[in-house]
């Protein structure tokens, strides 16, 4: 059974295309030595600090700064797991050089795989310091101290102290080892040994009205391997946002200039961005193969949707009209461009215009002076 021909009847002006895109991304921009070999302008390390307050609260200072990715939530989860403290007792500070003077910031899907691991390394130092103080307070050998769930215990006994108690004892400094500073605060600078390599496969179902060039994205399905996932909701939101951006590049977004080089669609009134009404509900899935390059087994996710979605859409558009002789359509694949590509492939002449009409909604329907159907709704 040929599902393609079963769905689309012969002679039907609306044709179905299936676009497939499979990718492997090198992300988590680092390590510094590799960047140096490429004459990159900076290193790839990231810095973090953890302050254990006498109140039992925890302050985390990170060099990466979010602009909607949910770093505060994910980093609080990581620290809560590492130190065994309540999630709500962790505060993440960032974005101000008076608070966080060291760091290389957020780009290249590096926030979690570099910045997050720096936080893990700082937390490990906190635990190591606290273990030493706990052994002293519990009058036991440090080798006999076990740490689990935020509590230090003497192996084989019920004697123990919570890490918050140890932090308060360090603050009071009434009783601590002579070879130790009375503080659990710790800093870390992490430079990865390698990149992380997320990968995935994306499929787009495209319908094209060959009479008008109208492009309709009917369904989008993707499976991404992004390693271990700290927060599934945040990860899914990252994929959704990336898909919207990549699809917009394929169908909508374009900077148009006149013959004098003046940008003619310099506002969001006439530069097309998709709304929720222009996109279908995405069917996303995650497969988690732990990364081997970092202790959390995490990979980048912020760019997965943008990398895979654009070629998936373009492949779907071409698949729908390839049998008509079309081999290429310039991005963004507006109705006008798709219609013109079909006409030219069929040997029909079209009137040349200085620039394709690209008004709001042009990705899924635009006015074409050569289109006998007029405006596509």
Per-residue pLDDT of the chain (377 residues; tens, 9 = 90+): 345 555 667 679 999 999 999 999 999 888 999 999 999 999 999 999 999 999 999 999 999 999 889 999 999 999 999 999 999 999 999 999 999 999 999 999 999 999 999 999 999 999 999 999 999 999 999 999 999 999 999 999 999 999 999 999 999 999 999 999 999 999 999 999 999 999 999 999 999 999 999 999 999 999 999 999 999 999 999 999 999 999 999 999 999 999 999 999 999 988 989 999 999 999 999 999 999 999 999 999 999 999 999 999 999 999 999 999 999 999 999 999 999 999 999 988 777 654 444 443 444 434 343 444 444 43
> What is residue 360's predicted lDDT score, i.e. its pLDDT?
39
Q: Please check whether residues 240 and 219 belong to one and the same domain.
A: yes
Q: Please check whether residues 340 and 275 belong to one and the same domain.
A: yes
In a domain, 323, yes or no: yes
In a domain, 104, yes or no: yes
CA-closest candidate to residue 113, choices 337, 255, 297, 278:
297
In a domain, 357, yes or no: no
The structural domain count of the chain equals 2
Contact between 340 and 350 under an 8 Å Cβ cutoff? The reply is: yes
In a domain, 223, yes or no: yes
Q: Please check whether residues 142 and 234 belong to one and the same domain.
A: no
Q: Please check whether residues 334 and 243 belong to one and the same domain.
A: yes
In a domain, 370, yes or no: no
Contact between 183 and 54 under an 8 Å Cβ cutoff? The reply is: no
CATH number of the domain where residue 143 is located: 3.30.365.10
Q: Please check whether residues 122 and 56 belong to one and the same domain.
A: yes
Q: What is the pTM of this model?
A: 0.87
- Tokens 């939101």 belong to 237
In a domain, 333, yes or no: yes
In a domain, 122, yes or no: yes
> What is residue 366's predicted lDDT score, i.e. its pLDDT?
41
Strand ranges (DSSP E) for the chain?
Answer: 14-24, 46-52, 58-62, 90-93, 145-148, 151-154, 160-162, 186-190, 199-209, 214-225, 282-287
Q: Please check whether residues 142 and 287 belong to one and the same domain.
A: no
Q: Please check whether residues 174 and 37 belong to one and the same domain.
A: yes
- Which of 152, 170, 190 is the endpoint of a domain? 190
Q: Which domain holds residue 135?
A: 32-190
Burial 185-217 (b: 16+ CB within 10 A, else e): bbebbbbbeebbbbbbbbbbbbbbbbebbbbeb
Q: Please check whether residues 133 and 205 belong to one and the same domain.
A: no
In a domain, 372, yes or no: no
Q: Please check whether residues 16 and 57 belong to one and the same domain.
A: no
- Which of 190, 222, 242 is the endpoint of a domain? 190
Q: Please check whether residues 173 and 268 belong to one and the same domain.
A: no
Contact between 18 and 202 under an 8 Å Cβ cutoff? The reply is: no
CA-closest candidate to residue 281, choices 227, 337, 240:
240
Q: Please check whether residues 124 and 232 belong to one and the same domain.
A: no
Q: Please check whether residues 231 and 326 belong to one and the same domain.
A: yes
> What is residue 352's predicted lDDT score, i.e. its pLDDT?
63
> What is residue 8's predicted lDDT score, i.e. its pLDDT?
65
């Amino acid at each position: 059974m040929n599902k393609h021909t079963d769905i689309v009847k012969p002679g039907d002006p609306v044709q179905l295309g299936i676009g497939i895109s499979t990718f492997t991304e090198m992300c988590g921009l680092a390590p510094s030595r590799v960047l140096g070999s490429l004459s990159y302008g900076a290193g790839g390390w990231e810095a973090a600090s953890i302050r254990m307050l006498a109140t039992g609260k925890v302050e985390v200072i990170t060099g990466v700064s979010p602009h909607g990715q949910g770093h505060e939530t994910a980093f609080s989860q990581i620290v809560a797991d590492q130190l065994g403290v309540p999630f709500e007792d962790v505060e993440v500070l960032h974005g101000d050089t008076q608070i966080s003077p060291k760091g290389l910031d957020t780009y290249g899907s590096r926030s979690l795989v570099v910045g997050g691991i720096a936080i893990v390394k700082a937390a490990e130092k906190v635990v190591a310091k606290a273990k030493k103080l706990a052994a002293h307070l519990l009058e036991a050998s440090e080798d006999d101290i076990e740490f689990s769930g935020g509590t230090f215990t003497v192996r084989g006994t019920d004697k123990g102290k919570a890490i918050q108690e140890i932090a308060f004892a360090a603050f009071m400094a009434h009783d601590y080892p002579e070879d130790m500073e009375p503080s659990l605060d710790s800093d870390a600078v992490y430079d990865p040994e390698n990149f992380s390599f997320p990968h995935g496969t994306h499929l787009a179902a495209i319908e094209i009205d060959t009479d008008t060039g109208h492009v309709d994205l009917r369904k989008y399905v993707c499976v991404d391997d992004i390693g271990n996932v700290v927060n599934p909701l945040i990860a899914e939101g990252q994929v959704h946002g990336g898909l919207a951006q990549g699809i917009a590049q394929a169908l909508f977004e374009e900077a148009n200039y006149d013959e004098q080089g003046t940008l003619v669609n310099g506002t969001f009134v006439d530069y097309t961005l998709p709304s929720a009404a222009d996109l279908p509900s995405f069917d996303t899935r995650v497969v988690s193969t732990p990364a081997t390059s970092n202790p959390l087994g995490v990979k980048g996710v912020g760019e997965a949707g943008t990398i895979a979605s654009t070629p998936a859409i373009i492949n779907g558009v071409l698949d729908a009209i390839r049998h008509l002789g079309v081999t290429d359509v310039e991005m963004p694949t507006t109705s006008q461009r798709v219609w013109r590509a079909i006409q030219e492939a069929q040997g029909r002449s079209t009137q040349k215009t200085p620039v394709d009409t690209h008004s709001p909604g042009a990705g899924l329907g635009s006015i074409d002076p050569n289109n006998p159907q007029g405006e596509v709704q």
